[in-house]
Structure formats: structure tokens, C-alpha cells
């Protein structure tokens, strides 16, 4: 690195037309009006492990921050702390899977998708082993900046053969995805919402239950169809309520499984004429849900008016999450404004 490049590296980064509030580097996701569930992943894993002795847990020094500490406390003899060595974490998980276990390996999404990708690809995906990769801080769910914001993890893992990908919305999805992951005989990558997680979907659809590979209509609407995943389903539902006051009727189709994608349901809903179709995801607009949906609609000969809500093709700023979500268009107000502007 030259002296000039070092100087550029440590120059203050400029943000056009926006000032970042940094009063809180990390904040809870805004989920006003929703009940919350504590550590739904850890609790679901413990409940399932009581019935299935094949389940083991591994973490790279982040069990407390991936809710795997719940499992570690309940079943210490089936928990493996690998230290800050993600490549070793996933290699060990692959070895345990070869011996007949079902390993749940947890870390941050940036560390799995960037630091340990080759080990996941060669040791797990190529061998089609039943390792479950469960990763916290997906997309813009932390204010710690590019080193911790996994804004491109879906792009990376979508291109990996044999890998199933889950992007849960809430506590209902997180609790439901765990048994589905165990039942799937192959590798799974799941984005994780941890800590106090909102219960959203059953508020809007009381009979909602997570099903691997299936998209579900959570709210019907005549004017707009939002096809969303992860926390953006919560934001889409809240934006739909806001837009209803302006006589804009918004349908929300929740897509918790990014791969395999429920093409039949998406095509059927997008093919109903007259509606603006919008994808919404907590991920870069490159290579995630939006591009996957656009490809399938094009191949099916379906051509609605189509727009995408997602993160830009850029390294994002650090700061308070509410500020960042507003800046990058993921807040309820910004989602509603974008949809209204496109009509």
C-alpha cells in the first residue's frame, strides 16, 4: 500500500446530502406494536434437540450473539466452541455431518459468506452435507459499517449448488425454519434474527406457518403487489397499512425461502394484471430476491410494471439503525413513499 493510498483509506468518507446520526451505533429493529419473543432460534433448537440426538451446535466465539448460548447452556456436551476461526468451524461441522450428526454452525453472516466461503463450498456444499449455517447480522441489521453488514450474502450463496437459502421475517419464521432445516437432507444457509425478535406474520395471518420453499400471501391488495423477504416483509406490511389511509391497496407476498424460489406462486400473483409489482429485500439490489424474481418473470413471459426496493451497490455507512434504514430506503415511511411515487 502506498502512502497516497493509505491517506485515501483513512480520509473521512463523504455522504452526499445526508448527515448520519451516530448517537447509537446499534439499535433494535423498529417493530412498534408487535410482541417479541426472546431467542426464538436457540429455544427452537433446544426443543428439537431433546428429540433428536443427532443435533449439535458449533460457534466461532459468537454463541451469545447468535442465540446459540441457549443451546450451549441446555446441552453443553453437544456444543463446540471453535474460537475465532470460521474456516475451522465449518470444516469441523462438515466432519461431524460425515459422522451422522446434524450440525448447526453459527457466526455473523459476513464471516460465513466472505471469510469462510471456500470451506463452505468445498467441504459442505459440494459434498451435499446436512450442515446448517445460521448467521446473525444479515443485511442492514447492524450499524457497525461494512465490516459487519452482510449486504451481499444472498448473492454469494445463491450461486452455490445444493445450498438452500432462508431469509426469515420474524420469530414465527425463525422458530418454524429450525425443524424444516433438520428435515432437509442437505446444506442450508439461514439469515438469523436474534435477541428479542418481533412476532409479525401471525398478527396479520393467524394461521401462518413457515414452509420450506413456499411463498405465502400475507395481505391481499388490488393496486400493488410487494414480493418481500426477511424484515422487509414486516416493513411492507406496515407500509401497506400506512398507504391504505391514502386509498392505496397493497398486497404482500412473503418469500422466506430465496432458494429454491417458489416460482409458481410468484408468477401466479405477478401475472394478475393491473398491479405494480415491487420486490423488497434487506440486501443489495444485485443478485438477491429482486433479481431472482425479475429473471423468473421474464422467463415466464410476465411483464408487469416492476420496481425494486433494496440496498444500493455500495459499502454502507455506520451509524444508528433508524437513521441508516431511512437513508437507504428500508424504513416504513421510505417504503411507503417509494411505492406511492411509482404509482
Locate the DSSP E strands across the chain. 36-38, 55-59, 79-81, 102-108, 132-136, 164-166, 188-192, 196-198, 216-219, 224-228, 250-254, 257-259, 276-284, 306-311
How far, in Å, CA of 132 to CA of 189, rounded? 6
Kindly list the structural domains of the chain, giving each domain's residue range(s) and its CATH number in brackets, ordered by start: 36-198 (3.40.50.970), 213-342 (3.40.50.920)
Supply the pLDDT for residue 273: 83
Supply the pLDDT for residue 15: 41
| Overall average pLDDT of the 180-202 stretch | 97
Supply the pLDDT for residue 193: 96
How far, in Å, CA of 131 to CA of 39, rounded? 21
Supply the pLDDT for residue 213: 98
Supply the pLDDT for residue 16: 43
How far, in Å, CA of 271 to CA of 252, rounded? 15
Supply the pLDDT for residue 44: 98
Question: What is 327-340 written as a DSSP string?
Answer: HTT-SHHHHHHHHH
Torsional sign, CA 86, 57, 108, 253: positive
- pLDDT tier, 11 (very low <50, low <70, confident <90, very high otherwise): low
Closest Cα partner for 132 from 166, 105, 172? 105
Residue 244 clears pLDDT 80, i.e. is over it:
yes
| Mean pLDDT for all residues in the chain | 93
Supply the pLDDT for residue 22: 34
- pLDDT tier, 233 (very low <50, low <70, confident <90, very high otherwise): very high
- pLDDT tier, 4 (very low <50, low <70, confident <90, very high otherwise): low
Angle between helices 289-299 and 263-270 (to 10 degrees): 70
Supply the pLDDT for residue 217: 98
The residues with which 188 forms a beta bridge, in sequence order, are 132, 164
pLDDT tens figures, 132-177: 999 999 999 999 999 999 999 999 999 999 999 999 999 999 999 9
The residues with which 102 forms a beta bridge, in sequence order, are 55
Supply the pLDDT for residue 219: 98
Closest Cα partner for 165 from 187, 193, 140? 187
Of 9-18, 275-284, 321-330, minimum mean pLDDT range: 9-18
| Overall average pLDDT of the 66-89 stretch | 97
Amino acid at each position: 500500500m502506498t502512502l497516497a493510498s493509505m491517506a485515501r483509506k483513512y480520509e473521512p468518507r463523504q455522504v452526499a446530502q445526508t448527515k448520519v446520526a451516530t448517537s447509537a451505533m446499534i439499535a433494535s429493529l423498529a417493530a412498534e406494536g408487535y410482541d417479541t419473543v426472546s431467542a426464538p432460534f436457540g429455544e427452537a433448537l433446544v426443543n428439537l434437540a431433546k428429540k433428536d440426538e443427532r443435533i449439535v451446535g458449533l460457534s466461532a466465539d459468537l454463541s451469545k450473539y447468535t442465540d446459540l448460548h441457549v443451546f450451549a447452556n441446555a446441552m453443553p456436551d453437544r456444543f463446540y466452541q471453535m474460537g475465532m476461526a470460521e474456516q475451522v468451524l465449518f470444516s469441523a461441522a462438515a466432519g461431524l455431518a460425515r459422522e451422522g450428526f446434524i450440525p448447526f454452525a453459527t457466526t455473523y453472516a459476513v464471516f460465513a459468506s466472505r471469510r469462510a466461503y471456500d470451506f463452505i463450498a468445498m467441504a459442505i456444499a459440494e459434498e451435499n452435507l446436512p450442515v446448517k449455517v445460521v448467521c446473525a447480522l444479515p443485511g442492514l441489521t447492524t450499524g457497525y459499517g461494512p465490516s459487519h453488514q452482510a449486504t451481499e450474502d444472498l448473492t454469494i450463496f445463491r450461486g452455490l449448488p445444493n445450498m438452500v437459502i432462508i431469509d426469515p421475517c420474524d420469530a414465527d419464521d425463525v422458530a418454524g425454519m429450525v425443524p424444516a432445516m433438520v428435515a432437509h437432507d442437505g446444506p442450508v444457509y439461514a439469515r438469523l434474527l436474534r435477541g428479542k425478535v418481533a412476532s409479525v406474520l401471525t398478527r396479520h395471518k393467524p394461521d401462518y406457518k413457515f414452509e420450506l420453499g413456499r411463498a405465502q400471501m400475507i395481505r391481499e391488495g388490488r393496486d400493488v403487489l410487494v414480493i418481500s423477504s426477511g424484515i422487509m416483509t414486516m416493513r411492507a406490511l406496515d407500509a401497506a397499512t400506512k398507504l391504505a389511509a391514502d386509498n392505496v391497496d397493497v398486497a404482500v407476498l412473503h418469500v422466506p425461502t430465496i432458494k429454491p424460489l417458489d416460482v409458481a406462486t410468484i408468477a401466479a400473483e405477478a401475472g394478475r394484471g393491473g398491479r405494480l409489482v415491487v420486490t423488497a429485500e434487506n440486501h443489495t439490489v444485485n443478485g438477491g430476491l429482486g433479481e431472482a424474481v425479475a429473471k423468473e418473470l421474464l422467463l415466464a413471459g410476465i411483464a408487469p410494471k416492476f420496481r425494486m426496493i433494496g440496498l444500493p451497490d455500495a459499502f454502507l455507512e455506520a451509524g444508528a439503525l433508524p437513521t441508516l434504514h431511512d437513508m437507504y430506503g428500508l424504513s416504513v415511511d421510505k417504503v411507503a413513499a417509494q411505492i406511492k411515487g411509482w404509482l
